[in-house]
Amino acid sequence: MSEPGGTEPVLYDVEGGIATITLNRPDAMNSLDIATKEELLAAIQRAASDTEARCVVVTGSGRAFCVGQDLREHITNMSSKSLDEVWATVDDHYSPIASGIATMEKPVIAAINGVAAGAGMSMALACDWRVAADSASFTTAFIGVGLSCDTGMSWTLPRVVGQTKAIELLLWPRTVDAPEALEIGLVNWVFPADRLAAEVADIAARLVAGPTLAFAAVKESVRYAATHTLTESLAFESRMMASTGGSEDHRNAVQSFVAKAKPTFEGR
């Protein structure tokens, strides 16, 4: 993992409170070989603990966001390793990548600059917001190579587009272009490709200026409610309200409201 301008497969940069993680294998459509998966996971973990980062952006270089598994490496591994060794990557890489993104205590934006396929689409789905270029496209891809799905897609896709549409897209992989992705709720916004970076930067800057403690509490509450009863979720909401209610952000925001001033949030 290297800083911007490097040649490593994953780049990491923090500027203005925004941590940007860039998949940097443009000649390979940002496909995921072992080295890239390990560096991507490390970058996600770094962003989670980076006190300078209040928002995270995940994107790709070149014309793809990420096309998923590097199949050339996969073929080599299948001929040289045991099945257990080959598929250990799911538990070692894909699952923790999805979990790390989805449970990040900071807003995470997928800036989808091009093709998002297989695990690449899964990673985008794990993010809180998906902002796509008008040239972007999506495909679940897994069935096309005789596989089930990974990187959390079985959990995220039905929650984003509904179970019926999710089963359709998973069992019958096809290219979903940016306009359709917006129509079915797969993405939040679509912008012309030459404006994507600027629009994402604007969205991220607004999030950086927001109440990041409250963002984290809301994300945790929504995740909790997805697998718990109403009664349990109400109790969890109460705990989150008590937690955020004791923050400096809340006290300062209330005082600013009474004074008819714009609140300033510090994330504490």
Tokens of 42: 């490390």
**Within a domain: 151:** yes
* Mean residue pLDDT across the chain: 93
Q: Is the pLDDT of residue 2 over 70?
A: no
Tokens of 165: 């549409």
Please check whether residue 55 is in contact with residue 16, taking contact to mean a CB–CB distance below 8 angstroms. no
d(CA 119, CA 187): 16
Please give the average per-residue pLDDT across 1-11, as a whole number: 75
**Within a domain: 268:** no
d(CA 60, CA 43): 14
Residue bearing tokens 């990040």: 104
Residue bearing tokens 């797969």: 186
pLDDT-above-70 percentage for the chain: 98
pTM for the complete prediction? 0.91
Q: Which of 64, 52, 16, 45 is nearest to 206 (CA)?
A: 16
Return the ∠ at Cα 22 (arms to 20 and 26), rounded to 5°. Answer: 160
Supply the range of the domain harboring residue 229.
212-258
For 81, which DSSP code? S
Residue bearing tokens 């409250």: 214
Please give the average per-residue pLDDT across 76-104, as a whole number: 91
The whole-number pLDDT of residue 260 equals: 76
CATH of residue 60: 3.90.226.10
Q: How many domains in the chain?
A: 2
Q: Which of 53-67, 83-97, 241-255 has the lowest mean pLDDT?
A: 241-255
- Per-residue pLDDT of 92-123, as tens digits, reads 999 999 999 999 999 999 999 999 999 999 99
- Per-residue pLDDT of 186-222, as tens digits, reads 999 999 999 999 999 999 999 999 898 899 999 999 9
The number of CA neighbours under 13 Å toward the Cβ of 186 is 30
The whole-number pLDDT of residue 67 equals: 97
Does residue 233 share a domain with residue 198?
no
pLDDT-above-90 percentage for the chain: 79
Which of residues 184 and 76 earns the better pLDDT score? 184
